[in-house]
Amino acid sequence: MHTQLWNSILSQVSRSIDAHRFETWFRPLSLLESDDPEVISVAAPNQFIADFLDQHYKPILVTTAKQLNFRLKDIVFTVGEGSNTPADVEPEIKEEPKKVAEPKSSTKTTSYSYPQLNKRYSLETFVVGPNNEFARSAALAVAEAPGKTKFNPLLIYGGVGLGKTHLLQSIGNYLVSNSPNTTVTYISSEEFYLNFIDAIKNNSTKTFTSKFRSSDVLLMDDIQFFAGKESTQEEFFYIFNTLYQNGKQIVLTSDLPPSSLRGLQDRLISRFQWGLAVDIQPPDLETRVAILKKRAEEDNLDITQDILYFIAEHVSSNIRELEGVVIRLLAFASITRSDITLELVKTVLKDSLKKEKRRVTINDIIEAVGNYYKVPVNNIREKNRRKEVAFSRQVAMYISKSITNNSLKTIGLNFGGRDHSTVIHAVSQIENLIKTDETVSRDVSYIINTLNE
């Protein structure tokens, strides 16, 4: 059996494709007995996956085997269960050599594994939109002239799954191809922290940190993770200073702008602000479509334009989720052995669609308020001055202001063409009542809750 070879191939592959994809295509595979020593036989859970691997991944797998100095004629994919357990490979190779505590006097033999760049994260595959173009330009400027721009450090910040890691690693990959003499180090703050703690235990912090001090470019991901970790921050502070003083480039990412990072020492935060902080915003619809298109192309997926739009319209929170949908589509198509149709997309998206909040309109609000206070909706909309009607109208205006994005002007127009000062008055009336009158406060929250359901 080629168990060892197969596992080596898998771990190699897991480095060059993203974790999602690895989980979809490679995790479910198991190795089969093969009569020919130069042929690897692998079982896939269904025909779709077998075909897909055969068409798209076979050449990579065979090349990888060659790189591992193994002569391989072929890899055969069949449907079924292998005799052995499924591939037991971590998608991101994090495994460190076991470190044995050394006596102080011994020479340092501890070796650290530093993470590698993922080749998939390149500037070419990074889709540019209004949400990220500034960050991308800054990243490119830094990649072209590390340490020589004013952007030192460059800090890229933004929410989860918006492309920070992708952009950060793109800088590294750009340098690896365009100026191979530049020493680039990429690490996430978490890995840095974990390794640093080990290094302290083993009395080998110098060995561990020397790689960082001697880098031309240091790419440090998710620095918010350093929050509250004093000695790690201390060490990082010295590394930062050394690099900065020697004109080396530092690029950082975080989930918040530097001024909002909690639990980090002030001296670090002030250093983060020496250079440039750029944000990445959630992508707009067009950018989401462009990203999906690129993903579909990468996977040779046939998805029509209107389906791409449908997905992009309904999944807007972050790009990782958007990609997750494409992967789920693949999986579904494989189980049902069907084409990717709008129907299939709707099934796949069912859960996400339910979660995505339906946008509440002013009309919904007027209806809900009318129902609750038993006042006809037309009376709320029009110029009826009866007291309970006027009150319901004010509540409806207040809720419209609170939970929709409509301007005061638009809200006024929806209530029989009243002007914005009337809306302001209504809003402040109800605000006061909510503070002083428990019934009003309870009623209003009740109505808002029903609207959000």
- Return the number of the residue (46 or 317) whose C-beta is nearest ligand ADP: 317
CA proximity to 320, closest of 166, 435, 427, 452: 166
Site for ligand ADP in 255-284 (CB under 6 A): none
- The angle formed by the CA atoms of residues 316, 318 and 323, to the nearest 5 degrees, is 95
Would you give the binding string for Mg ion spanning residues 152-181, x where CB under 5 A is met? Answer: ------------xx----------------
CB of 398 to Mg ion, least distance (A): 40
Can you tell me which of 13, 40, 65, 127 binds ligand ADP, judged by CB under 6 A? 127
Q: Is 79 in the site for ligand ADP (CB under 6 A)?
A: no
Can you tell me which of 2, 21, 166, 288 binds ligand ADP, judged by CB under 6 A? 166
CB of 151 to ligand ADP, least distance (A): 19
Would you give the binding string for ligand ADP spanning residues 290-309, x where CB under 6 A is met? Answer: -x--x---------------
- Return the number of the residue (319 or 427) whose C-beta is nearest Mg ion: 319
CB of 136 to ligand ADP, least distance (A): 8
Is residue 37 within 8 A of residue 73, CB to CB? The reply is no
Would you give the binding string for ligand ADP spanning residues 358-397, x where CB under 6 A is met? Answer: ----------------------------------------
Given Mg ion, ligand ADP, none, residue 132, with its beta carbon under 5 to 8 Å by kind, binds ligand ADP
Is residue 11 within 8 A of residue 89, CB to CB? The reply is yes
Which amino acid is present at 272? F
| Phi, psi angle pair for 170, to nearest 5° | -60, -40
- The angle formed by the CA atoms of residues 249, 255 and 257, to the nearest 5 degrees, is 70
CA distances from 11 to 90, 116, 277, 320 (A): 7, 13, 35, 22
Task: Report the alpha-carbon distance of residue 392 to residue 403 in Å, rounded.
Answer: 16
Q: Is 163 in the site for ligand ADP (CB under 6 A)?
A: yes
Task: Report the alpha-carbon distance of residue 217 to residue 239 in Å, rounded.
Answer: 12
**Helix H or strand E encompassing 44:** strand 39-44
- Return the number of the residue (221 or 299) whose C-beta is nearest Mg ion: 221
- Return the number of the residue (2 or 21) whose C-beta is nearest ligand ADP: 21
- Return the number of the residue (64 or 118) whose C-beta is nearest Mg ion: 118
Q: Is 14 in the site for ligand ADP (CB under 6 A)?
A: no
Q: Is 233 in the site for Mg ion (CB under 5 A)?
A: no
CB of 24 to Mg ion, least distance (A): 20
- Return the number of the residue (322 or 399) whose C-beta is nearest Mg ion: 322
CA proximity to 417, closest of 409, 425, 428: 409
Task: Report the alpha-carbon distance of residue 423 to residue 433 in Å, rounded.
Answer: 15
The per-residue DSSP string of 229-251 comes to -HHHHHHHHHHHHHHHHTT-EEE
Q: Is 285 in the site for ligand ADP (CB under 6 A)?
A: no
Can you tell me which of 86, 161, 282, 324 binds ligand ADP, judged by CB under 6 A? 161
Is residue 169 within 8 A of residue 186, CB to CB? The reply is yes
Radius of gyration (C-alpha) of the chain in whole angstroms: 29
The token pair that represents 75 in the structure block: 């890899």
Give the footprint of ligand ADP on this chain (CB under 6 A).
18, 125-127, 132, 158, 160-166, 291, 294, 319-320, 323
Give the footprint of Mg ion on this chain (CB under 5 A).
164-165
